[in-house]
Amino acid sequence: MSHLRIASSAPADDGVVVVVTPSSAGWDHVGFMVIRLAPERVHQGGDPARELCMVILTGTVDVVAGDQSFVGLGSRRSVFDGPPAALYLPAGWAYTVRASCEAEIAFCTAPGSVGRAARLILPDAMPYEVRGQGTNTRFVRNILPESAVADSLLVVEVITPGGHWSSYPPHKHDTDAFPDETRLEETYYHRLSPPQGFALQRVYTDDRTLDETIAVGDGDVVLVPRGYHPVAAAPGCELYYLNVMAGPRRSWRVRADPGQAWNANCKRGKQSV
């Protein structure tokens, strides 16, 4: 099994199905966790040094954070059912999540500072894009884009139709060369419809010291510490993924694979998740 692939498991007692920490990933910034809660179950957390973007993947939850309450967040039955609700919490905010019904929640974290305000990110406030054309067309929801206030985090979700490519043209963001490229760690949380389907993700560097092609199943997390990282959804399998990115500079600047410059699809592409 690839060391870049982390499979989900049945929910633990605290609801956790998959977790990535900077220590477990061997990097410095991105943390990621998914929990599944039965109705009326509770999850608590908070970190004095890390900001959080909480994405309600499915179901409905109530959140108490600090002295604020956020009631009835989320309405999706599936991650393929329109945009999510999300909540941004700066570093130092403790929170309690209570599920109103069966719910799945993603916790996206990165280094942050205290003093910012908590804010609700409503589904109709998320910028929506259609990227690519032909068989690299995909649909992008910018949950916490560069234009939104945060310290480190960038969060986006993407729907890729069956038989299509995504994160294409192959691009990387592993070098501090602003404004041409920035260094960002990244996680992909994959879901598939139907869940028995699969996708393929390749992670590779120019010198091929890293070159892995990963068979992705429903609920898998793929780590992208460096290199190019295109994704392909198998025909008949609609692919969802939630991206979390963070690095020393909160800016998304990428470099396309120059080895693919002959490809007309790559020539058309610019920055693509």
Provide the pairing of β-strand 128-131 with 50-58: unpaired
Q: Would you give per-residue pLDDT tens digits along the chain (273 residues)?
A: 689 999 999 999 899 999 999 999 999 999 999 999 999 999 999 999 999 999 999 999 999 999 999 999 999 999 999 999 999 999 999 999 999 999 999 999 999 999 899 999 999 999 999 999 899 999 999 999 999 999 999 999 999 999 999 999 999 999 999 999 999 999 999 999 999 999 999 999 999 999 999 999 999 999 999 999 999 999 999 999 999 999 999 999 999 999 887 676 765 545 456
Give the angle subtended at the CA of 108 by the CAs of 107 and 114, to the nearest 5°.
Answer: 105
Look at residue 250 in the predicted model and tell me its pLDDT.
Answer: 97
In DSSP notation, 137-206 reads -EEEEEEE-TTS--SS-EEEEEEE-TT-EES-S-EE-EEEETTTEEE-EEEEEEEEESTT--EEEEEE-T
Look at residue 264 in the predicted model and tell me its pLDDT.
Answer: 64
By residue range, what is the domain housing residue 194? 5-268
Look at residue 266 in the predicted model and tell me its pLDDT.
Answer: 64
Joined together, the tokens standing for residue 178 give 């602003």
Joined together, the tokens standing for residue 108 give 């996206």
Residue 94 within a domain: yes
Joined together, the tokens standing for residue 152 give 């480190």
CATH code of 186's domain:
2.60.120.10
**How far apart are the C-alpha atoms of 95 and 134, rounded to whole Å?**
43
Residue 126 within a domain: yes
Residue 273 within a domain: no
Quote the number of domains for the chain.
1
Among 14, 15, 35, 22, which Cα is nearest to 187's? 22
Residue 188 within a domain: yes
